[in-house]
Amino acid sequence: MRVMVVWCPDWSVVAALDEAERSPRSPAAVLSANVVEVCNGPARAEGVRRGQRRRDAQSRCPELVLLPANPDRDARAFEPVLAVVEDLRPGVAALRPGLLAVRAPGSWYGTETDAAATVCQALVESGVWDVRIGIADDLFTAERAARTAEVQAWAVVPEGGSATFLRGLPVHVLQDDGPRGRELVSLLQRLGLRTLGDLADLPGDAVEHRLGTYGAEVRRRARGEDRTLFSARTPPPELDAEVVFEPPLDSVEAITFSVRTTAERLVSQLAHHQLVATGVRVEAESDGVVCSSRTWLHPRHFGARDLVDRVHWQLQSAGSTSGASGALRSRKQTGTVRAPVDRVRFVPEVVEPAAAHGEALWGAASDDLVERGVARVQGMVGFDAVRRPVLQGGRSPGARQALVPWGERAVDLRPVDRPWPGRVPGPAPVRVFASPPAAEVVDDAGREVRVTDRGVVTGEPRRFRVGGGVLPWQPVTAWAGPWPTDEGWWSGGSGPTARFQMVGADGRAWLLVSAPDGWCLEAGYD
């Protein structure tokens, strides 16, 4: 079996630049833990290297574009490349983002060189500019051949020629195997072994005794005896569902009614694959142009009714206008759209195993009734008008609250498991004021209690009151604090603040905040 390897260098940088909508010719590097993980050609030309610290890389190239590492992003961006090769030769194996292997399709295209040229041309036409191909008897040699090829070119190792081809390669090519490879390269160089041929000439028992199992496996690869096999992936099923309107429809109610069967078909075909959708993109086309597109998330998973509701809300929303023509705009008074819609498409973007969303012991009928009731309210007052509270990370009780539209999954929340220095310990207050009323806190002499820049209280709180008639003057029977914080100083925030827990004579507990402009009542524990 001959193996073809397709290599797209610096794929993490390519995917990150595309996501950030930056020029692919910009010098860029992907960082992980402030260390350069991958850098592209323009960055290497300026002296940036893998393994450098962020500061060192920026000193070599001040205009370096720094991008975060994201393996999921890299895999998503590499999916179209896999699809292109899969159309030409089924049985593709994704080794990692930027690298794939497939059985060499030589006989179908005439020769292996013709097959490599065909694959290369298809990838370039799909938008992948830097692609390199290697063909050999085994996976290791084919990958090494691809790494020696030029841009948009290929290297074919003759049958039985793997050992000869590998013999002259320097040992530092093993660094691509990660930390194990880099450690082995360092050891081989200290032993005076400069090429893979030097390693291949050593006795097998001695190599395994000195370099371990991994070293013995590398020696077999260097001799052209690679035993590594790869398994072809199973192409993902086509899960999209769409409905075409002929003639096009200009009524929101008519469109909503007409997509019901399509929504049921989508849910059924997902169930056939034992999947459920938790994220679905709804697209509406007018005259062949996508004029409205929005991705909807669900806290559990979508049913047919949920999808129909999303179509209705999306078409009614005044903010759903998009696309080059701006053709779609809702008119709540008439229930019509500006331009007739000729196609609605459901695209599942996030699917999960159905077993992970099974019903509880007593079923989910009561939850469904609540969701249907809330959905009816949303249909009357708008999708964003009905919200639910969600806990997120933060120091103040108000900062820890986030309001999310009902039926939408909470995203971009601050993590709860961070330390959050200065956060008031539990239990949490039961009431948080949206507009904290002004308050006063004084000591025995009637002087206002303040907190210095070093977090020192100027006096012991003895009495407090809240303006606007909320609370009259009350003696302080117990208090705790302060918990100082200094948030937003880089953007002109309110400056250093400190929180106090105080119990009044009536037994109720309150959370008060001392700020540079005075005291306020933030929350209550009653």
pLDDT at 456: 85
Q: Do both 41 and 94 map to the same domain? A: yes
**Residue 367's pLDDT is what?**
58
Q: What is the pLDDT of residue 299?
A: 76
pLDDT digits (tens, 9 = 90+) for 160-179: 899 999 999 999 888 877 78
Tell me, yes or no, whether 63 and 133 share the same domain. yes
User: Dmax of the chain from CA atoms?
Assistant: 99
Please, which contacts does 233-237 make with residues 24 or more away whose CB atoms are closer than 8 Å? Answer: 233/82, 233/92, 233/93, 233/94, 235/86, 235/90, 237/273
Q: Please report how many Cα atoms fall inside a 13 Å half-sphere around the Cα of residue 298, on the Cβ side.
A: 24
CATH number at residue 247: 3.30.1490.100
pLDDT in tens, 471-518: 888 898 899 888 888 776 555 556 788 889 899 888 889 888 888 888
Q: CA–CA distance from 11 to each of 69, 99, 148 (Å)?
A: 11, 9, 17
Q: Are residues 197 and 117 in the same domain?
A: no
The structure's pTM equals 0.54
Q: Are residues 43 and 138 in the same domain?
A: yes
Same domain, yes or no: 63 and 152: yes
Q: Is residue 440 part of a domain?
A: yes
Residue 446's domain spans which residues? Answer: 431-524
Collect the ranges in the chain with pLDDT lower than 70: 106-107, 234-236, 318-337, 356-372, 407, 468-469, 488-494
Pair (270, 334) in one structural domain:
yes
Considering the domain architecture, whether residues 318 and 272 belong to the same structural domain is answered as yes
pLDDT in tens, 241-254: 999 998 888 888 88
Q: What percent of the chain has pLDDT over 90?
A: 24
